Amino acid sequence: MTFDVAVEVRLRPGIADPQGATVERALPALGFEGVTGVSVGKSIRFTVQADDESAARALVEDVCHRFLTNPVIEDSVVVLSPAVAAPVG
Amino acid sequence: MTNVAVVRFPGTNCEFDLVEVVTKLGATAEIVFHDVTSLGGADAVLIAGGFAHGDYLRPGAIARFSPIMSAIAEFAAEGGPVVGICNGFQILTEAHLLPGALQKNAGLKFRCEMVELRVETSDSALTSESNVGDVLRVPINHFEGNYTCSAETLAELRSEDRIVVRYVDNPNGSVHDIAGVCNEGRNVVGLMPHPERACDDLLGSSDGLVMMRSLLHAAGARLEPSA
């Protein structure tokens, strides 16, 4: 089976987020009021071939832990779904 | 003669500065590419600064999986001196040869300037020839040099005297002003500042020489006193 995977990499709670803080500070100057709690992360998308969903999830978790995130400062949220067939032609 | 392997990844850009300094101090240096599996019998390893693999994903994240890293881990486990400078420090943390991580600078600025470093321990491969309390002028040149670790790791580093150098005036938000740390064996050291760029008065400081000398001493070098 093929699965579409979306991984959101984000800084762990308590880890300083200078990018998020800078974006948040810039908002009022641009006329946007009332926006708080800005954090900046990464979105990584790919497809995975595996026998079933749990096998795919296990593989993705391993990839996230060993490569896509640095567990010292980051964690990840995985969204995994059966791949939608690409349109023919 | 002491031979130092200077590791080069695609995107490394400080390897020739290191070769120059090592040679100036009377040892030999050999550039070792990232895709080989042997250090060629080197007595010490320097992981040079730059942007290995473009720093894609995270600095050091891809370099960590390079074939040469297994040889470096093995060399380090045997007690061989390994020093990672700037990007090399980031690679060593990603490879779990040193604790913690390097995050974007607190001010979101790329900092390129001379800083003062206080030597916190003389018991490391990089500081054996210096004294605790010495203040060394060495330049930094980084965007992701903000050292971060868990409270437990910081407590461990402090109680085990593994913080090697600290900034006198913290330029990047590093926890506890940390500029460099070592492993439990004290033979693996990583730091963000560039001692190789402070090895000649023409460069504004030669305070980096004591660090490079320490590394060669750790490697068993017998240097002339005035080298």
What percentage of chain B reaches a pLDDT higher than 90?
A: 95
Distance from C-alpha of B8 to C-alpha of B203, rounded to nearest angstrom? 23
What local confidence, expressed as pLDDT, does residue A5 receive? 97
Give the residue extent of every domain in chain B: 3-218
Asked if pLDDT for residue B224 goes beyond 70, the answer is: no
Q: Kindly report which listed range (A81-85, B96-100, B141-145, B189-193) carries the lowest average pLDDT score.
A: A81-85
Q: What is the ipTM of this complex?
A: 0.83
Contact B58 A70 (CB under 8 A): yes
Nearest neighbour of B101 by CB, restricted to A18, A19, A73: A73
Contact B149 A72 (CB under 8 A): yes
B112 labelled catalytic: no
CATH second-level architecture of B3-218?
A: 3-Layer(aba) Sandwich (3.40)
What local confidence, expressed as pLDDT, does residue A87 receive? 64
Amino acid type, B5? A
Asked if pLDDT for residue B28 goes beyond 80, the answer is: yes
Give residue-wise pLDDT tens across range B94-126.
Answer: 999 999 999 999 988 999 999 999 999 999 999
Nearest neighbour of B94 by CB, restricted to A15, A19, A70: A70
Asked if pLDDT for residue B33 goes beyond 70, the answer is: yes
Class of the domain covering A2-82: alpha beta
What local confidence, expressed as pLDDT, does residue B203 receive? 93
Q: What are the structure tokens assigned to B102, written together? A: 């390097």
Interface test with A, best of B96, B103, B150, B157 (most A CBs within 10 A): B103
Going by C-alpha positions, the residue among A58, A62, A61, A52 that lies closest to residue A82 is A52
Residues of B in contact with A15 (CB under 8 A): 103, 148
What local confidence, expressed as pLDDT, does residue B136 receive? 98
Q: What is the dihedral of CA B142, B144, B146, B148, to 10 degrees?
A: -150
Mean pLDDT of B148-153: 96
Nearest neighbour of A18 by CB, restricted to B65, B93, B108: B108
B217 labelled catalytic: no
DSSP output for A40-76: --EEEEEEEE-SSHHHHHHHHHHHIIIII--TTTEEE
What percentage of chain B reaches a pLDDT higher than 70?
A: 97
Q: pLDDT category, B1, cuts 50, 70, 90?
A: confident
Q: Which of B86, B149, B182, B199 is catalytic?
A: B86
**Residue A84, helix vs strand vs coil:** coil
- Residues of chain A whose pLDDT is less than 50? none
Q: What is the DSSP letter of A87?
A: P
B182 labelled catalytic: no
Distance from C-alpha of B119 to C-alpha of B210, rounded to nearest angstrom? 11
Q: For A64, what's the count of Cα atoms within 13 Å in the CB-facing half-sphere?
A: 25
What local confidence, expressed as pLDDT, does residue A89 receive? 62
Distance from C-alpha of B28 to C-alpha of B47, rounded to nearest angstrom? 15
Asked if pLDDT for residue B221 goes beyond 70, the answer is: no
CB atoms within 10 A of CB B71: 20
Q: pLDDT category, B225, cuts 50, 70, 90?
A: very low
Contact B58 A72 (CB under 8 A): no
**Residue B144, helix vs strand vs coil:** coil
Contact B100 A68 (CB under 8 A): no
Q: What are the structure tokens assigned to A45, written together? A: 């998308």
Residues of A in contact with B100 (CB under 8 A): 72
Distance from C-alpha of B55 to C-alpha of B144, rounded to nearest angstrom? 10
Give residue-wise pLDDT tens across range B35-61.
Answer: 999 999 999 999 999 999 999 999 999
Arithmetic mean of pLDDT over chain B: 95
Nearest neighbour of A16 by CB, restricted to B57, B93, B173: B173
Q: What are residue B30's DSSP bridge partners?
A: B5
On whether any CB of chain B is under 8 Å from the CB of A73, the answer is: yes
What local confidence, expressed as pLDDT, does residue A84 receive? 82
Contact B146 A67 (CB under 8 A): no
Helical residues (DSSP H) of chain B, grouped into ranges? 15-24, 68-77, 87-94, 151-159, 209-218
What local confidence, expressed as pLDDT, does residue B11 receive? 97
On whether any CB of chain B is under 8 Å from the CB of A88, the answer is: no
